[in-house]
Amino acid sequence: MKEKKKTLLYIGNKLAETGGTATVIDTLSVQLAQEGYTVITASEKNNKVHRLLDMVTTFLRVRKKIDAVLIDTYSTKNFYYAIVIGKLSRQYNTPYFPILHGGNLPQRIEQSPLKSAKYFGGARLNIAPSQYLMEAFKQKGFKEITYIPNSIELEKYPFKLRKSVTPKLLWVRSFSEIYNPQMALAVLARLLQNGHQATLTMVGPEKDGSLAKCQVIAQEKSLPVTFTGLLSKESWIKLSTESDVFINTTNFDNLPVSMIEAMALGFPIVSTNVGGIPFMIEDNVDGILVPPDDVNAMVQAIETICDDDNVSGALSKAARLKGESYNWQIIKDSWHKVLDF
């Protein structure tokens, strides 16, 4: 007789259907349900107070019929959602699994040592989507931790070999200061100064006023930038065929799904070497890494890619190969092992 899969409560910012950026909960909850698990999610509320209340009331309402709680755990204000749900889980003896998304979580542990000790220490198992956070948490003394990377459904990402390329740049992220979107504009401006016919497409929603600032800069400097706003995954994947080089300008990061997606699509990638990125990209093999906020280094890397077809083609092929390793059909076995308790 086939064993019945567990019933899970998945706590996170499930805001894609209400105009927010799609996060891991939007994809992983569906993937786990397709594997036979019963998955209850919270929350879709846009207002942060209402979201927390919805998370708490949902937990209390379903606690007797769930087997475990998955908790998307970030390093900023959303950290406190996780703390509250973790406390409730311990109070009602419900196993919980923090999924570590915040690239700045090691600093959060230092800022909130007691809360972190109770929350991460009380978990049945912490799930690190990057080797970077895996190692950082081990160094902080947390032993109950395992590595399960973020995943994609590979069949949705058609490979395009980018061999002869021009500086048609693509940037995909929420417009937030921590992702340093203004650096992308500075890179574009420098490329134009150097005589390149460069363009930039920036895909993502407003987060903290950064989009408005970028729009002002682009207008003042007459930069050839297209701001698409938030797009569905299908829409930006289709749009991506018009670009040649993917740039990631962030100051803090873990294992961004947008980078995995760019790899699978065959983009030569230039990224800042922060957080979990160096664990994800092998420099000059499946991408090029540069120091954070170093416009000159990023421009030089883009010029190297555009000037040499062998470089761009090799990076494109290697990126696709790396992207294939994040295929859900591979990653799902790790989730089955964790949830088989």
Alpha carbon distance 213, 193 (integer Å): 21
- How does pLDDT run across 180-199, given as a tens digit for each residue? 999 999 999 999 999 999 99
Alpha carbon distance 215, 211 (integer Å): 6
CATH 3.40.50.2000 fits 154-324, yes or no: yes
Domain boundaries, the chain: 7-151+328-339, 154-324
pLDDT of 252: 87
pLDDT of 338: 97
Phi, psi of 134 (to 5 degrees): -55, -50
pLDDT of 29: 96
**∠88-94-98 over CA atoms, to 5°?**
75
pLDDT at residue 266 tops 90: yes
Sign of the CA dihedral 311, 312, 313, 319?
A: positive
- How does pLDDT run across 217-261, given as a tens digit for each residue? 999 999 999 999 999 889 999 999 999 999 999 998 888 899 999
- pTM score, whole prediction: 0.90
Mean pLDDT of the chain: 95
Amino acid at 124: R
Cβ atoms of 71 and 60 within 8 Å: the answer is no
- For 2-16, 58-72, 120-134, 316-330, which range has the lowest pLDDT when averaged over its residues? 2-16
Q: For residue 43, is the peptide bond before it cis, meaning its omega torsion is within 30 degrees of 0?
A: yes
pLDDT of 23: 86
- How does pLDDT run across 275-300, given as a tens digit for each residue? 889 999 999 999 999 999 999 999 99
DSSP symbol at 5: P
Buried b (16+ CB within 10 A) or exposed e, 64-74: eebebbbbbbb
Strand, coil or helix: 72: strand
pLDDT of 253: 86
7-151+328-339, CATH topology level: Rossmann fold (3.40.50)
pLDDT at residue 1 tops 60: no
pLDDT of 3: 66
% of the chain at pLDDT higher than 70: 99
- How does pLDDT run across 85-135, given as a tens digit for each residue? 999 999 999 999 999 998 889 999 999 999 999 999 999 999 999 999 999
Quote the tokens at residue 132.
């970077």
In the chain, DSSP finds a helix count (H) and a strand count (E) of: 14, 12
Cβ atoms of 268 and 309 within 8 Å: the answer is no
pLDDT at residue 153 tops 50: yes
% of the chain at pLDDT higher than 90: 90
Two domains, one topology: 7-151+328-339 and 154-324:
yes
